[in-house]
Amino acid sequence: MNNLPINEISNFLNIPVKEIDSLIPIIENNWIELIHDAKFKYSSIILPLIIKNSTFEISNQFSFKSSKLAKMLIHSNQIFFYSATLGLAVDKKLKLKSYYNLEDALVYNACANSLIEIETQKIFDTLKKQQARLNKYTSIRFSPGYLDLDLSNQNLFLSITNSTSKIGLTLSNHLALIPEKSITAFSCISNRKLPTSYNCSLCDFYNKCLSEGGFKCEF
């Protein structure tokens, strides 16, 4: 199978690529199943941005705070909000597999994480190209819950992208995205160059991180 994203899947399975050969058949089966189940949908919007101190002011309507991000992105004047989901059928299949074949569930889960990551990256790559044509620069993407950007901002992100009605993305009482295989993120846009890589030591979770220097982390 040519389009099997084996590097991403092995990352999410925490298995070195060179060791994954014996699992290829099961990965292929799960990938095919996932492509059938997943209904990738996303919602996005570009809005004017002013960063003052640690506050991101968007269109004079919304705001969120992050002093670390504000320092990194201070020269931005637009912000791209994005939310995406693979849909509920993936959650249901994952749960079903957890009941009758846990190995399959584990692989399917890794495939689903890979798929949403790949689709998301495509959108952000397109954004980068589009902005480059306008002589503008985009930053790497950030999500609520990382750095000092509080997870409670999920509500704001969903509201700005109108994600509940557009793509069926909701929040649980404990701020989990539902469907589970979903992402909210943003990227800043500027006339000046913005950070395109990320220093893990900035992250609030640096000391707690299990992902060994960004391995599996969105940054």
Partner 1 sequence: MNFKEYIKSNYLLLDGAMGTEIQKEYPNLNFSPEILNIENPELIENIHKKYINSGSQAIITNTFGANSYKLSNSKYSVTNVIESAITIAKKASLNKVFIGLNIGPIGQLLKPLGSLDFDCAYNHFKEQIMVLKNHPVDFIYLQTFSDLQELRIALLAVNENSNLPVIASMTFNENFQSLTGTTIEAFAVSLRDMDVDALGINCSLGSHALLPGIESLLNYSKQPVLFQPNAGLPTIKNNTTIYSENPKIFLSNMEKACDLGVRIFGGCCGTTPKHIKLLSLYLNNKKTIKTTTHQFKTKICSYSNVVDFDKGIVVIGERINPTGKKKIKNALIKNDMEYLIKESINQINSGAQILDLNVGIPEIDQISSMTNLINEIQSVLNTPLQIDSDNPLVIEKALRNYCGKAIINSVTGKISSLKTIVPLAKKYGAAIVGLTIDENGLPKSTLDRVSIAEKIINYCISKGIPNENIFIDALTMTVSAQQKEVPDTLNALKEIKNKYNVKTILGTSNISHGLPNRSVLNRTFLTMALSNGLNATITDPTCNDIFETILAYRVLNGEDIDSINYIRNFDCTKDKKDKEHSTIKTSLHDSIYYGYKESIIKIINDKLEKQKALDIIHNEIMPSLNILGNDFNNQKIYLPQLIRGAETVKIAFEILKENLPKSHIKNQPKILLATVEGDVHDIGKNIVKILLENQGFNIIDLGKDVSETIILKTIEKENIKLIGLSSLMTTTLPSMEKTIKLVKENHPNVAIMVGGAVLTFEYSKQIKADFYGKNAQESVEFAKNFFLKGI
Q: Does 176 bind partner 1 (CB under 8 A)?
A: yes
Q: Does 19 bind partner 1 (CB under 8 A)?
A: yes
When the beta carbons of 11 and 194 are compared against partner 1, the nearer one is 11
Residue-level length of the chain: 219
When the beta carbons of 85 and 138 are compared against partner 1, the nearer one is 85
The helix or strand, by DSSP H or E, that contains position 94, with its residue range, turns out to be helix 88-100
Which of these segments, 49-57, 106-114, 131-139, 181-189, binds partner 1 (CB under 8 A)?
106-114
Question: Torsion angle of alpha carbons 108, 32, 161, 77, nearest 10°?
Answer: 90
The residues in 123-152 that bind partner 1, with binding defined as CB under 8 A, are 145, 151
Number of residues engaging partner 1 in binding (CB under 8 A): 49
Considering only CA atoms, which of 94, 86, 95, 89 is closest in space to residue 114? 86
Q: Does 22 bind partner 1 (CB under 8 A)?
A: yes
Give the shortest CB-164-to-partner 1 separation in angstroms.
5
Three-state DSSP at 219 gives: coil
Q: Does 201 bind partner 1 (CB under 8 A)?
A: no
When the beta carbons of 41 and 128 are compared against partner 1, the nearer one is 41
Question: Which pairs count as long-range contacts for 4-9, CB under 8 Å and 24+ apart, including other chains?
Answer: 4/28, 4/31, 5/114, 5/115, 5/118, 8/113, 8/114, 8/117, 8/118, 9/107, 9/110, 9/111, 9/114
Q: Does 23 bind partner 1 (CB under 8 A)?
A: yes
What tokens were used for 184?
A: 């909210």
When the beta carbons of 31 and 179 are compared against partner 1, the nearer one is 179
Rounded Cα distance, 47 and 33, in Å: 37
Rounded Cα distance, 189 and 46, in Å: 9
CA 76 to chain centre: 20
Planar angle of CA 209, 175, 204, nearest 5 degrees: 25
Binding-site member from 70, 178, 200, 202 for partner 1 (CB under 8 A): 178
Which of these segments, 74-82, 112-120, 123-131, 171-179, binds partner 1 (CB under 8 A)?
171-179
The residues in 60-99 that bind partner 1, with binding defined as CB under 8 A, are 60-62, 87-89, 91-92, 94-96, 98-99
Q: Are 64 and 147 in contact (CB under 8 A)?
A: no
Give the shortest CB-142-to-partner 1 separation in angstroms.
16
Return residues touching partner 1 (CB under 8 A): 13-15, 19, 22-23, 26, 59-62, 87-89, 91-92, 94-96, 98-103, 105-107, 109, 145, 151, 164-165, 167-168, 170-176, 178-180, 205, 207-208, 210
